[in-house]
Amino acid sequence: MRHTLPVTPQFYVTAPQPCPYLEGRMERKLFAALQGDTAQSLNDVLSHQGFRRSQNVVYRPSCADCALCLSARIRVADFAPSKSQRRILKRNAGLIREGSTPWATEDQYDLFKRYLASRHYDGGMADMDIFEFAAMVEETPVRSRVVEYRALGTETDPEPDLAAVCLTDVLSDGLSMVYSFFDPARAHLSLGTYVILDHIEIARAAGLPYVYLGYWVPGSPKMDYKARFQPLEIYRGGEWTDLGDPTELQLDQVTDLKDPISEQVAAIYLPGSERDS
């Protein structure tokens, strides 16, 4: 009888560095490489445990004295847009969505640089050149898509104008929004919110139960918007639970010291394990 053995990747920990979300704190990440025939299944299973993909690596925050970065996902079947979100959908109804294989273009890069200059000029991506941008988009060992949103052209300029872009992974149980950016000149259209709302509809049409949003960080103004997509689930204590009212979450409830790295790794289940089956 032939048995499938669990995939056994090597896990590593980054050196501490300043946290991009909460001032005065230090961050540390637990990560592993995605490679070979097992990359897709490993990305699926680790995403279910709060990991995120960046190129050919999956990572999860593992800070020594903080546990505020909580992986978040929208439960598609129970989601209903709020009144303000319905207005955003109506406001952007004229946008054209186009999905393609992950391939970087100069048009995307120009939009990316304008977005960073307006929103994240002091962030870690601000100095990315076009080759680094291409690597971010194209170096993916899993099933990924680039979703572009274009505004209808005009009589004088009939070419549809690129308004927003999202790099999206297709998981076994949902869509993972790896990175999105939009035209800062169209900030009044709430394009960031619209792209998430549209991904919920893509997932619903595909029969996928979740849209993964990355990390929600209570106390970080940069991450407040994610809590507006209810019902939102967060990964905490080894399981997904409803966030509920984010204002009722006490910060001291999620700032406990993390388990030692060795115990964290030992608790991770892998493709082919009993818990994955």
Digit-coded pLDDT (tens) for 248-261? 765 555 554 567 78
pLDDT at 204: 98
127 CB contacts (<8 Å, ≥6 apart)? Answer: none
Rounded-to-integer distance, Cα 234 and Cα 246, Å: 11
Specify if 1 maps to a domain.
no
Rounded-to-integer distance, Cα 22 and Cα 138, Å: 30
148/22 same-domain check: no
Specify if 128 maps to a domain.
yes
pLDDT band at 33 (very low <50, low <70, confident <90, very high): very high
Above 80 in pLDDT, residue 266?
yes
Residue pair 164/149 in contact (Cβ under 8 Å)? The answer is yes
231/132 same-domain check: yes
Give the CA distances from residue 187 to residues 39, 114, 194, in Å, rounded to whole numbers and listed in that order. 36, 12, 11
93/205 same-domain check: yes
Specify if 144 maps to a domain.
yes
Question: What is the extent of the structural domain holding 31?
Answer: 11-70+250-266
pLDDT at 5: 45
Above 90 in pLDDT, residue 67?
no
91/212 same-domain check: yes
pLDDT digits (tens, 9 = 90+) for 178-212: 999 999 999 999 999 999 999 999 999 999 999 99
pLDDT at 235: 93
pLDDT band at 2 (very low <50, low <70, confident <90, very high): very low
Average pLDDT over the chain, rounded to an integer: 88
Q: What are phi and psi of 99, to 5 degrees?
A: -105, 145
38 CB contacts (<8 Å, ≥6 apart)? Answer: 7, 271
113 CB contacts (<8 Å, ≥6 apart)? Answer: none
178/156 same-domain check: yes
181/201 same-domain check: yes
Give the DSSP letter string of 31-76.
Answer: EEE--GGGHHHHHHHHHTTT-EEETTEEEEE--SS----EEEEEEG
pLDDT at 135: 96
Which single residue is written with the structure tokens 């009212």? 245
The count of structural domains within the chain is: 2
pLDDT digits (tens, 9 = 90+) for 137-153: 999 999 999 999 999 75
CATH of the domain at 191: 3.40.630.30
Above 50 in pLDDT, residue 14?
yes
Above 80 in pLDDT, residue 55?
yes
Specify if 277 maps to a domain.
no
43/138 same-domain check: no
pLDDT at 226: 92
77/126 same-domain check: yes
pLDDT digits (tens, 9 = 90+) for 216-241: 988 788 888 999 999 999 998 889 99
Above 90 in pLDDT, residue 19?
no
Above 90 in pLDDT, residue 84?
yes
Q: Is 26 helix (H, G, I), strand (E, B) or coil?
A: strand
Sheet holding 29-33, edge to edge: 11-13, 29-33, 57-61, 52-54
Of 26-30, 104-108, 132-136, which gets the smallest average pLDDT?
26-30
149/66 same-domain check: no
Specify if 271 maps to a domain.
no
Specify if 37 maps to a domain.
yes
Report the share of the chain in percent with pLDDT over 70: 89
Rounded-to-integer distance, Cα 147 and Cα 202, Å: 11
Give the CA distances from residue 148 to residues 85, 95, 168, 196, in Å, rounded to whole numbers and listed in that order. 20, 10, 11, 13
Rounded-to-integer distance, Cα 198 and Cα 175, Å: 11
120/243 same-domain check: yes
32/119 same-domain check: no
pTM score of the predicted model = 0.90
171/233 same-domain check: yes
pLDDT at 13: 93
Rounded-to-integer distance, Cα 243 and Cα 45, Å: 21
Specify if 173 maps to a domain.
yes
Specify if 63 maps to a domain.
yes
